Copies of this chain bind each other. A is one copy, B any other.
Amino acid sequence: MVLLDGKKTSNAIKDEIASQVSSLVASGEKKPHLAAVIVGNDGASLTYVASKVKACERVGFESTLVKLPETISEKELLHTILQLNTNPKIDGYIVQLPLPKHIDEQNILLAIDPKKDVDGFHPVNVGRMALDLPTFLPATPYGIMELLERYDVETSGKNVLVIGRSHIVGRPMSILMSQKRKSGNATVTIAHSHTKQLSTLTKTADIIVAALGIPEFLTGDMVKNDVTIIDVGITRVADNTKPKGYYITGDVHFDSVSKKASYITPVPGGVGPMTIAMLLKNTLLARNRHAN
């Protein structure tokens, strides 16, 4: 069993990016600059954004944190978006989700300039992905593709089961892995809440991408030997025996599944760190496009 070590791999990617930033700085050129917009005080969101800002520092990017009150109106937030769109210093930016309920997320995402949409959530970037045109791939799927590629996991002709059809993970994974590309050319099945006899599908899959958000859903008896497992889930499970009162787990029951797997991502330390690394990669790409 090989651990698909997202932490190690993301560090390697960050080193590559840092070295490119050093070259830019050495030739007197502009550093990449990522902005992150956060609305309100949700603990998990603040943690995510803080880790993104920290990652920027690590690779030598400029970063700007735009922290807005929970009570901001949609109109005011749209105004901030337009400022970020036109600010030539900002190469790319993200709007941390979820937004407060009185704001229509879709309206906000549609207002982001696709050229600065380093999360890859704007329809034009989603469409470009589906059409296999150059674009910003959404960071989590992009990270998974990169992880598979760097570990030389064979995907061509393999039966891949993607569990979950979310716009940010399941859907793009099902598209990317079935395209003619590196870590692609797989025969992909997308399963979701309406799927019947899921365990029949899990038992025949060569590669499973679990992105359904149910902690430790996938167990050892549900998979075949030598399966490759990508665990996208990340849930805090309450546990009084732990110092923090909870533990972090994925959608995969690691102990039982890892016994049968040929490759598996741990949680934490698998897909999560890759996501941040790919956000940085997209920001560097945005910067290089603007510069050309």
Contact = CB atoms under 8 A, between A and B. Distances in A.
Query: This chain: how many copies in the complex?
Result: 2
A26 interface: no
A171 B190 CA distance: 13
A171 B127 contact: no
Given A123-B128, A126-B131, 8 more contacts: A126-B126, A127-B129, A156-B194, A157-B194, A165-B178, A174-B178, A186-B194, A187-B189
A196 interface: yes
B178 A185 contact: no
Given A157-B194, A188-B189, A191-B187, A175 B179 contact: no
A192 interface: yes
B187 A187 contact: no
Contacts of A186: 194
Interface of A: 106, 122-133, 156-157, 165, 167, 171, 174-175, 178-179, 185-192, 194-196, 201
B196 A187 contact: yes
Contacts of A185: 192, 194
A190 B165 contact: no
